[in-house]
Structure 1
Amino acid sequence: MFELIDQKKSLLDARRPFPAHTLRTIHEHLVINWTYHSNAIEGNTLTLSETKIVLEGLTVGGKTLNEHFEAINHKEAILYIEDLVRHHEPLSEWQIKSVHRLILKNVHDEFAGVYRMENVIIGGAAHIPPDYSQVPAEMSEFVHWTNDSSHGLHPIARAAVVHSDFVKIHPFVDGNGRTARLLLNLELMKAGYPPIVIEKEQRLAYYEALNEAHTTGTPDRFIAFVAQSMDRTLDWYLNLIR
């Protein structure tokens, strides 16, 4: 699958640079869909059209203030990681905390950008995250592994493992899933791939693949899940530019 994906990526790269208007519309579509689906996976009830309205600066009747903030925060977090990609910066714990701080801003300020100081469980998952006292050491090791290119993984596999390992540590009290999906796309974009959107309709398959990776130590199913999402994303781009 990686070979086929890279062939499609080469076809896409050959069409660059895209027209300015096309880039703007692609980016707007990406931000709205990514924000909607990532928040919906976590229980946010804004619809896709309502998410678009909120990101345009309006409010939606009958929706909580937190749900509005979650949409606005997620857009700001996307813009932040895009800036990290432009500056070619290696991943750091400070960056991860900054992404998380944006995600929980005005929602749970007391937890924003702060490693958890309590033990947690992941609802519906067999894996139990490490004791909170182990989080700083595990996050240090996580960042070191992420910035080490010697493991020789394909960029898509590497990005998938980054997501999986981050969720396995579960370093924050809340907002881990959204942060993990942002880090996944940060690593994909650094490697020259477009970001993917894990849709709320894929939630069960997504959680099952993660749970298998965490309980068996084998991330193959989750890597395949991410690769399939990338394959569909490249098809969407290629159909658009044709």
Structure 2
Amino acid sequence: MDGINQTLKKIDHNQISINQNRPLEQTQVKNLKNYFKIGLTYASNALEGNTLTESETKVVIEEGITIGGKPLKDHLEAIGHARAFDYLWELAKSADITENDIKELHKICFQPKDGAAAGQYRQVDVIITGSHHNDKLSRHEDVPAHMRDFAAQLPEKRARLHPVVYAATLHRDFIYIHPFEDGNGRTARLLMNHALLATGYPPVIISPAFKHEYIQALEKSHSNSQMFTHYIAEQVLQAQRDYIRLLHLPPV
């Protein structure tokens, strides 16, 4: 617990510097949004096997150009995730998020690839490859009730927990339900970043280079929830450093 508390103290210290330099100019906000949209779209999709590079992702999103030799699916995932980030950016103007918001976020993200199935709860049980805790995932018939409870508990958790702890908890609890047949990881990361953005923190981009560490922290959270929380806190700390560097803020 001490390790997490020390990391949270560093985060709080950095956040003071970030908040002291607000409000930002419109140009700065636009540049930051584009930076995080491209970075998060690339990384979150790459974690799930998308083969587009970050520069290719940028071209697909900003110019609508098709990358030769890359699957159509990968292009559609990039387009959908970028649209979902735009929706998330507006949604984060409020800390509140509802069950319908979550379904809409998934729908926007996956409609280009999955059509009408996007935004619909799964009708089958699922297995997470490589996980030893598939027995703890919600059964498909329980998903609607579990998601209602999940959404209903968010305001209380948000009020009680440190914003970074809340963001990590939201991600973890959503994954335990796994409400959609596909796209749960990407949706969980979007929800986590909604929680961060809504409270003034920069969004977290989990690099695909650290996929193993990320998955292991999530897997071990079944027996030690603090491990995943600490992992996410370290990612927030890095996101703050990137934010400070991008805006040329005084070093903390």
**Does 1:146 find its partner at 2:154?**
yes
Structure 1 partner of 2:208: 200
What does the per-residue CA deviation read over 1:163-221, in whole Å, with 9 as the maximum and x for residues that have no partner? 0010111000001010000000001111221111111011111111111113x1x3101
Q: Could you say what secondary structure the match of 2:115 adopts?
A: coil
Out of 54, 69, 73, the position equivalent to 1:62 is: 69
Gaps of 5+ in 2: 1-6
**Does 1:75 find its partner at 2:82?**
yes
Work out the CA distance in 2 between the residues paired with 1:120 and 1:223.
25
Q: Could you say what secondary structure the match of 1:12 adopts?
A: helix
Asked whether the 8 Å contact 2:158–2:166 carries over to 1, the reply is no
Displacement of 1:150: 7.3
Work out the CA distance in 1 between the residues paired with 2:181 and 2:238.
32
**Does 1:26 find its partner at 2:53?**
no
Out of 182, 199, 220, the position equivalent to 1:191 is: 199
Work out the CA distance in 1 between the residues paired with 2:209 and 2:158.
35
Q: How does 1:109-120 map to 2 (within 5 A)?
A: 109-120=115-126
Out of 88, 92, 100, the position equivalent to 2:106 is: 100
Work out the CA distance in 2 between the residues paired with 1:71 and 1:146.
29
Between the aligned residues of both structures, percent identity stands at: 38
TM-score by length of 2: 0.91
Work out the CA distance in 2 between the residues paired with 1:19 and 1:147.
31
Work out the CA distance in 1 between the residues paired with 2:67 and 2:158.
48
Asked whether the 8 Å contact 1:212–1:221 carries over to 2, the reply is yes
Q: Could you say what secondary structure the match of 1:43 adopts?
A: coil
Work out the CA distance in 1 between the residues paired with 2:85 and 2:54.
17
Aligned residue type for 2:77: E
* Residues 19 and 61 of structure 1: CA distance in aligned 2, closer, same or farther (over 3 Å): same
Aligned residue type for 2:42: Y
Q: How many residues align?
A: 239
**Does 1:127 find its partner at 2:133?**
yes
Work out the CA distance in 1 between the residues paired with 2:16 and 2:164.
15
Out of 32, 38, 46, the position equivalent to 1:40 is: 46
Runs of 4+ off more than 6 Å: none
Aligned residue type for 2:180: F
Work out the CA distance in 2 between the residues paired with 1:219 and 1:187.
18
Work out the CA distance in 1 between the residues paired with 2:105 and 2:162.
25
Work out the CA distance in 2 between the residues paired with 1:27 and 1:130.
34
Structure 2 partner of 1:11: 17
Work out the CA distance in 1 between the residues paired with 2:25 and 2:209.
32
Work out the CA distance in 2 between the residues paired with 1:151 and 1:238.
27
Q: Could you say what secondary structure the match of 1:32 adopts?
A: helix
